Structure 1
Amino acid sequence: MISYFVYVYIILKPSNDKAWELEFQTPSTVEFIDEDRVKINHIHDWEYTDEFQTSVRYFDETYNMKNLRRVWFVLEPFSKWQAVAHTYFVFDFQYQEPIAFSIEARREVNEAYSGGAGLVGGYELYYSWGTERDFTGKRAYRDNATLYMYPLKLSGSRMINLFKTLAEETNTLADHPRFYNTLFDNCTNELAKIVRKANPAALPWYSLYVLPGYADYFLYDHGYIDTRLSKNELRQMYNITDIVRQNYKEGFSDAIRDVISVAVLP
Structure 2
Amino acid sequence: MRLPSLVPNVLTALVLFGGTAWVGLALALTGAGPEGAHLLRALGALVVAGLALVVWRRFGSRSGAVAVVLAACGGLHVWAWSQAPSTERDWAPDLARMARADVEGSRVTIHDVRDFRYRSTTDWDASWYSAAYDARELTGAWFIVEPFSGFFGAAHTMVSFGFSDGRYLVFSVEIRREKGETFSAVGGLFRQFELVYVVGDERDLVQLRSNHRHDDVYLYPVNASKERISDFFLDMVARMNALHAKPEFYNSLSNNCTTNLVHHFEKVSAVKVPYDHRTLLPAFSDALAYELGLIETDAPLEVVRARHLINPRALAAANQPDFSRRIRETQARAADSAP
Name the TM-score, length of structure 2 as normaliser: 0.75
Q: Which has the higher helix share?
A: 2
Q: Which residue of 2 aligns with 1:54?
A: 124
Q: Could you tell me which amino acid in structure 2 is paired with residue 165 of structure 1?
A: D
Among 300, 305, 314, which residue is 1:244 paired with?
Answer: 314
Q: Which residue of 2 aligns with 1:206?
A: 275
Unaligned runs of 5+ residues in structure 2 are 1-72
Q: Could you tell me which amino acid in structure 1 is paired with residue 327 of structure 2?
A: I
Percent identity reads 28
Deviates further, 39-48 or 77-86: 77-86
Q: Which residue of 1 aligns with 2:226?
A: 156
1:4 offset after TM fit, Å? 4.3
Quick one: distance in 1 between partners of 2:97 and 2:112? 7
Quick one: distance in 2 between partners of 1:229 and 1:96? 28
Q: Which has the higher strand share?
A: 1
Quick one: distance in 2 between partners of 1:67 and 1:119? 39
Deviates further, 166-175 or 47-56: 47-56
Is 1:27 the equivalent of 2:109?
A: no
Q: Which residue of 1 aligns with 2:186?
A: 116
Q: Could you tell me which amino acid in structure 2 is paired with residue 20 of structure 1?
A: W
Q: Which residue of 2 aligns with 1:222?
A: 292
- Is the contact made by 1:46 and 1:53 (CA closer than 8 Å) also made in structure 2? no
Q: Could you say what the CA RMSD is over the residues aligned between the two structures, in angstroms?
A: 1.4
Q: Could you tell me which amino acid in structure 2 is paired with residue 97 of structure 1?
A: R
1:80 offset after TM fit, Å? 1.5
Show CA shifts across 1:76-132 (max 9, x none): 001112311100000010014101001001111101111111111110001121001
Is 1:38 the equivalent of 2:116?
A: no
Deviates further, 49-58 or 112-121: 49-58
Quick one: distance in 2 between partners of 1:141 and 1:119? 30
Unaligned runs of 5+ residues in structure 1 are none
1:90-101 matches, cutoff 5 A:
90-101=160-171
Show CA shifts across 1:162-201 (max 9, x none): 0000011111000110000111111111111122223322
1:7 offset after TM fit, Å? 3.0
Matched length: 263
Question: Secondary structure of 2:206's match?
Answer: helix
Deviates further, 249-258 or 22-31: 249-258
Question: Secondary structure of 1:81's match?
Answer: coil
Is 1:14 the equivalent of 2:85?
A: yes
- Is the contact made by 1:36 and 1:64 (CA closer than 8 Å) also made in structure 2? yes
Quick one: distance in 2 between partners of 1:26 and 1:88? 19
Q: Which residue of 2 aligns with 1:2?
A: 74
Q: Could you tell me which amino acid in structure 1 is paired with residue 145 of structure 2?
A: L
Question: Secondary structure of 1:83's match?
Answer: coil
1:161-200 matches, cutoff 5 A:
161-200=231-270
Question: Secondary structure of 2:153's match?
Answer: strand
- Is the contact made by 1:4 and 1:120 (CA closer than 8 Å) also made in structure 2? no
Q: Which residue of 2 aligns with 1:137?
A: 207
Q: Which residue of 2 aligns with 1:255?
A: 326
Higher relative contact order (CA 8 A, sep 6+): 1
Show CA shifts across 1:209-236 (max 9, x none): 2221100011101111111111121211
1:51 offset after TM fit, Å? 4.5
Q: Could you tell me which amino acid in structure 2 is paired with residue 23 of structure 1?
A: D
1:264 offset after TM fit, Å? 4.4
Name the TM-score, length of structure 1 as normaliser: 0.94
- Computing the radius of gyration from Cα coordinates, the structure with the larger value is 2
- Is the contact made by 1:49 and 1:141 (CA closer than 8 Å) also made in structure 2? no
Deviates further, 246-255 or 233-242: 246-255
Deviating beyond 3 angstroms after TM superposition, the runs of 4 or more aligned structure 1 residues are 50-53
Quick one: distance in 2 between partners of 1:92 and 1:3? 48
